[in-house]
Amino acid sequence: MPRKKILELSVDWLSILDPEGNVDESLEPDLDKGTLEKIYRTMVLTRLFDDKALKLQRQGRMYTFGASLGQEATTVGSAFALNPDDWFFPAFREQGAQIARGIPIKLLYIYWMGSEDAYIGMPLRNFTIAIPVSTQILHAVGAAWAAKIKKEKIASIVYFGDGATSEGDFHEGMNFAGVFKTPTVFICQNNQYAISLPRERQTASKTLAQKALAYGFEGIQVDGNDALAVYSATKAALEKARSGGGPTLIECFTYRLGAHTTSDDPTKYRQMVEVEEWKKKDPIKRFQLYLAKKGIWSQDYEDKLIKELTAEIEKAVEEAEAYKPGVENIFKYVYAEMPSNLKEQMDELLAYISKKTEG
């Protein structure tokens, strides 16, 4: 057979909850009421966190910020599948996952208000926000690999966008994960845009999930606006990872309802009708309907929740705004021990400041 097919590959799609909140019971994950409530609470808190951040930015009280409106099922659903001792590697649009991981929102505000000091006292195994797209993928693979070497049965999870799949580091990370069967779960938040570039122009492949096939492991596309599907796929992938089954790529098919960041004007590159279509698939609304059907959610429930969360946010913002980092922090953490050039430069700056304040 001189010309023959030698390989067949495929990609699956998973969804559990439809936009009306109907659940596919055969696939419904076994989550108790408390957990369902927590997931909902975290999604709502994430959205309120974002709303507040956008307001603060407009008022000049915060700097550039990338909201996650519409992507809450992806970030929160996946993070709820984690164990506390799993390692978490965010990009920069994972506030939902960060909150789900127990990171105090005050710290998140401190970060977005422009201070590295947000990381002082950060709960461990929650790695720093990565601004350069896709670079964190390698860290997550390395950490998972380290866990494997140290025979610790944990997994690492890493988040990145559709745009990130074009970067070399995505490729190198995926390939290392495949070769070394690292316990890594790759969450691709396909929100259909990388700033202005639509997904179809980012890559010519039909799905992003299929990219995993190039590395010899499984890729799956899930409904990213369906917290149950995201949760289930992530949970399964994490368990596979922890038990030696190697990595998985999960493409969460979702949509960024807002601007890329506060510096972005999405009307430049997309039609309002498209946004409106996606609003109908709102992940929070969908989960709300699901909870309502389960008798958990009601308007009262909602009002109480919003009130509680709003207060939590106000308090966090207040504390964050009160926070003032010390100037020496510029120098103090560059090396474990400060070398002489840094000492001199710090002294130079401190002298300048005290001259200025005296003068």
Partner 1 sequence: MRVAKLNMVQAINLALHEEMERDPDVIVMGEDVGVDGGVFRVTEGLLNKFGSERVIDTPLAESGIVGTAIGMAVYGLKPVAEIQFEGFSYMTIDQLAAHASRIRNRSRGTYHCPMVIRSPYGGGVRALEHHSEAVATFYIHIPGMKVVIPSSPYDAKGLLISAIRDPDPVFFFEPKRLYRAFREEVPEGEYTVPLGEGKKLTEGDDVTLISWGAMARVCLEALKLVKDVSVELIDLCTLSPLDDKIITESVRKTGRAVIVHEEPRTLGLGAEIIARINEKAFLYLEAPVKRVTGYDVPVPLPKLEDYYLPDAERVADAIKEVATF
Residues 84-113 that bind ligand TPP (CB under 6 A): 93
- Which x/- pattern over 14-53 shows residues binding partner 1 (rule: CB under 8 A)? ----------------------------------------
Q: Are 106 and 316 in contact (CB under 8 A)?
A: yes
CB neighbour list of residue 140: distance below 8 Å, 6 or more residues apart: 87, 89, 127, 156, 157, 158, 173, 184, 186
How many whole angstroms separate alpha carbon 165 and alpha carbon 156?
18
Taken as a whole, the chain contains a residue count of 359
How many whole angstroms separate alpha carbon 147 and alpha carbon 155?
8
Strands 197-198 and 218-223: unpaired
Q: Are 71 and 191 in contact (CB under 8 A)?
A: yes
Q: Are 64 and 57 in contact (CB under 8 A)?
A: yes
How many whole angstroms separate alpha carbon 271 and alpha carbon 267?
7
Q: Is 3 a catalytic residue?
A: no
How many whole angstroms separate alpha carbon 21 and alpha carbon 290?
4
What is the Cα gyration radius of the chain? Answer: 22
> Does 193 help bind ligand TPP (rule: CB under 6 A)?
yes
Site for Mg ion in 130-169 (CB under 5 A): 161-162
Residue 35 binds which entry of partner 1, ligand TPP, Mg ion, none, with Cβ cut-offs from 5 to 8 Å by kind?
none
The dihedral sign for the CA sequence 184, 104, 163, 236: positive
Strands 197-198 and 193-194: antiparallel
Number of chain positions touching partner 1 (CB under 8 A): 82
DSSP 205: S
The correct pick among 191, 207, 234, 248 for binding Mg ion (CB under 5 A) is 191
**Shortest distance, position 226 Cβ to a copy of itself, whole Å:** 9
Q: Is 111 a catalytic residue?
A: no
Site for a copy of itself in 302-331 (CB under 8 A): none
**Shortest distance, position 68 Cβ to partner 1, whole Å:** 16
Site for partner 1 in 325-354 (CB under 8 A): 325, 327, 329-331, 333-336, 339-342, 345-346, 349, 352-353
Residue 195 binds which entry of a copy of itself, ligand TPP, Mg ion, none, with Cβ cut-offs from 5 to 8 Å by kind?
ligand TPP
Q: CA–CA distance from 61 to each of 96, 107, 113 (Å)?
A: 21, 15, 7
Strand partners, 88: 126, 157
> Does 113 help bind partner 1 (rule: CB under 8 A)?
yes
Q: Are 17 and 62 in contact (CB under 8 A)?
A: no
Q: Is 139 a catalytic residue?
A: no
> Does 215 help bind a copy of itself (rule: CB under 8 A)?
yes
Residue 191 binds which entry of ligand TPP, partner 1, a copy of itself, none, with Cβ cut-offs from 5 to 8 Å by kind?
ligand TPP
> Does 24 help bind a copy of itself (rule: CB under 8 A)?
yes
How many whole angstroms separate alpha carbon 214 and alpha carbon 218?
10
> Does 194 help bind ligand TPP (rule: CB under 6 A)?
yes
> Does 172 help bind a copy of itself (rule: CB under 8 A)?
yes
The correct pick among 147, 236, 257, 291 for binding partner 1 (CB under 8 A) is 147
Residue 8 binds which entry of partner 1, a copy of itself, Mg ion, none, with Cβ cut-offs from 5 to 8 Å by kind?
a copy of itself
> Does 164 help bind ligand TPP (rule: CB under 6 A)?
yes
Site for partner 1 in 209-268 (CB under 8 A): 263-264, 268
The catalytic residue positions are 256, 260, 269
Which residues here bind ligand TPP, judged by CB under 6 A?
93, 131-133, 160-164, 189, 191, 193-195, 256, 260
